[in-house]
Amino acid sequence: MLNLSNLGLTHPARVYHNLSTPALYEEAIRRREAWLAHLGPLLVRTGHYTGRSAKDKFVVKEPSAEGKVWWGKHNQPISEEKFNQLKIRLQAYLQGRDIFVQDCHCGADPAYRINVRVITETAWHNLFARTMFIREFDRDALDAFAPDFTVLHCPNFQAMPEHDGTHSEAFVLLHLAQKLAIIGGTCYAGEIKKSIFTVMNYLLPQRGVLSMHCSANVGKDGDTAVFFGLSGTGKTTLSSEKDRAMIGDDEHGWSETGVFNLEGGCYAKVIRLSKASEPEIYETTRRFGTILENVAFDPDNRHVDLDDASLTENTRAAYPITHMPHIVKEGVGGHPRNIVMLTCDAFGVMPPIAKLTPEQAMYHFISGYTAKVAGTERGVKEPAATFSACFGAPFMARHPSEYARLLGKLMASHRANCWLVNTGWSGGPYGTGQRMKIEISRAVVRAALSGALDKVSFTPDPVFTFGVPEACPDVPAEMLQARNTWADKAAYDAKARELAGLFKKNFAEYEGQLPKEVVGAGPA
């Protein structure tokens, strides 16, 4: 029998333990948490918070973590006293209330898997956990389940900032020694999965495993590829190919035995999702077992409208990875033969594809560059460079140099190629040039993964020093050198120097933590 007294959870009204997907559907609808849409997806609303609340995430500063965590804006410290007083009030809040418990795993490789117990006050958030993590179907294993980490999720419970030391009523607090995350004040379900991803980013490097914010797939010949990229760079689109099977779409580990998915589901952004360009993901929005967050729908016929951004641009679909037709069911692959780093360069100075040396790969991995464009945020008139260390700084619990060293070591051990692919602008910056066509991006990725570029000559870029291919199948030769696509060559040179300066300024804080070969691998 389930006993939650070790968490201080006593006298709940009723505990729903490991309910199936249909049963959680019934509870969510019965409790008016959700609506049933045409063809079977579950529609939910997250209220005020329609995305992650990065400023409200804290890590408890206690002896076991103090010297290991990358403290700063992404891992803000909070005291054990503040954590415990919030936890005590949460325990009191849940007395007399129904709670839902889901036992699952994080990590497809049993050698690095952790058992995760997610306790929620709502049925649909429990369904989200069941969807996004790896399910356990063995009844004996579930009976013997012992959690390695627990998430306590109460979105209707709010913090008191002046008393609790938080920035708002929302909070995401991680206590790595107690192996407990407490989340409240926000209904955005992504906080559940990202809190556990942060935990894995803390644990795996201590075992020599690189934890990665990336997608991964495998070709017919068994060649594995990983795709790093921030939001809007095309990571999901370019890693979804009919002739390659998906390992996972967002979070992976790379150990001495290969790549493994951390999750059992996908959490895709679906605003203006096109059936023509992404048919496989589109079909998941029309299936039972998919949760649609903040997606508009017709209340009469329950048809969804993926083009409606009236609630948020960050509409999401959470679905089991088994909803996708081409997957690696075991969630594991071999060592990557190719690593693709995606950037949406709104300055228009990056080539469609470039080959990186191992040192350059470490440099660009730590840099995590993409760009915001005019219109994405109030006051942005010119392209604004954005750097997110390791292509996922908000979830990196340890210093970025630690992940970069692991990347370099694994690349050297397994002779992986690394490519920088620009899915942004060509022929000029945003407003002047043209957005790279998806056909071009697919062509350069296909060429890199197939080995078509192995015998091609490369020319060093005069500013960024990486190698630019002189030819690429299905790509016009004049597009490969970014400078050649600009009518005003002097304007290109000025813009390239500007972006190079931004790279150097961003990288300055990491220079003391890395070998001089990596520091010198940036722009000339």
Residues noted as catalytic: 52, 194, 213, 231, 235-236, 250, 316
The 3-class SS string of 223-259 reads CEEEEECCCCCCHHHHHCCCCCEEEECCEEEEECCEE
Phi–psi pair at 117, nearest 5 degrees:
-110, 125
Phi–psi pair at 343, nearest 5 degrees:
-135, 140
Q: Is 316 helix (H, G, I), strand (E, B) or coil?
A: strand
Report the alpha-carbon distance of residue 487 to residue 421 in Å, rounded. 22
Q: Is 453 helix (H, G, I), strand (E, B) or coil?
A: coil
- Closest to 154 (Cα-Cα) out of 190, 182, 123, 124: 182
The answer to whether 204 touches 406, Cβ cutoff 8 Å, is: no
What DSSP assignment string belongs to 11-70? S-S-EEES--HHHHHHHHHHTTS-EEPTTSPEEE--TT--S--GGGEEEE--HHHHTTS-
At 421, which amino acid appears? V
Round to the nearest angstrom and report the end-to-end CA distance of the chain.
Answer: 64
Q: Is 361 helix (H, G, I), strand (E, B) or coil?
A: helix
Tokens for 65, please give them: 């973590």
